[in-house]
Amino acid sequence: MCAQVVLAEDDEKQAELVRRYLERENHTVIVVNDGRSALEEVRRRQPDLLILDVMLPGVDGLDVCRILRRESDIPVLMLTARTEEDDMLLGLDLGADDYMTKPFSPRELAARVRTLLRRTRVPAAAEPSTLLRVGEVAVDLERHELFADGTQISCTPGEFRLIATMAARPHRVFSRAQLLANMHGIDQYITTRTIDTHVLNLRKKIEPDPRRPVRLLTVYGVGYKLTDG
């Protein structure tokens, strides 16, 4: 799977290492060293992926992500030396699809890139589908139906909206704030605690063993994700 990747990284040695690893995977890599150049290259080239360091000169990575999310749905993999939970959540809230903390393994980065590209690339001839399938869980958006292991599952509107949001981007980690934003219109009194309750209820309905979830997973300190486990 060859892709055009914009890499925004102001550390020249780090950028060169990442570039070499990605080019071994037959990707075309355009390296920029500041946030303003990252914005310009993404707008000009419309690449398949942006790898974005948080600590960029001029316009920092968080602002780049914030600006691009108003214009584009380009996949964004964020690199950060910050390990505080609030910084990770902020990056995800702004629309980053994944993040890695420095120092990281270039091989792991290349693997994350492959995963992101598989998840976000859609064949040009494909028609939009109203059926979202993640392993043995299926969400029919048109009929507003949820299935697990081939059995239709009864769920509330809030539970359906939550799992539909995650099924649209399987394996992506959603913060509670992101899930809360997608619940707009369901219940004006909904809180992050309500999100946790919905997750617990959904696990009882879709997990083989709700006490040991393998599908609807907690990513501690960040949020939740739906996998094909």
pLDDT single digits (tens) 182-205: 775 545 456 778 889 999 999 999
CA distance 130 to 99: 28
Tokens for 34?
């500041």
More confident residue, 70 or 190: 70
Residues 79, 9 contacting (CB under 8 angstroms): yes
Contacts of 58 (CB under 8 A, 6+ apart): 34, 35, 36
CA distance 211 to 229: 15
Tokens for 199?
């997750």
Confidence band for 125, pLDDT divided at 50, 70 and 90: very low
More confident residue, 205 or 121: 205
pLDDT single digits (tens) 100-118: 888 888 888 888 898 888 8
CA distance 163 to 45: 34
Count of residues for the chain?
229
Contacts of 78 (CB under 8 A, 6+ apart): 52, 53, 54, 61, 65, 91, 96, 98, 99, 100
Q: Which of 15-29, 84-98, 102-116 has the lowest mean pLDDT?
A: 84-98
Tell me, yes or no, if the pTM score tops 0.85.
Answer: no
- Estimate to the nearest angstrom the gap between the alpha carbon of 210 and the chain centroid: 24
| Residues linked to residue 76 through DSSP beta bridges, in sequence order | 50
Q: What pLDDT does residue 184 have?
A: 59
Closest CA to 159 of 207, 219, 213, 203: 203
- In what helix (H) or strand (E) does residue 79 lie, and over which residues does it extend? strand 76-80
Q: Where are the alpha helices (DSSP H) in the chain?
A: 12-24, 35-45, 61-69, 85-93, 106-120, 157-167, 176-182, 192-206
Calculate the average pLDDT of the chain. Answer: 85
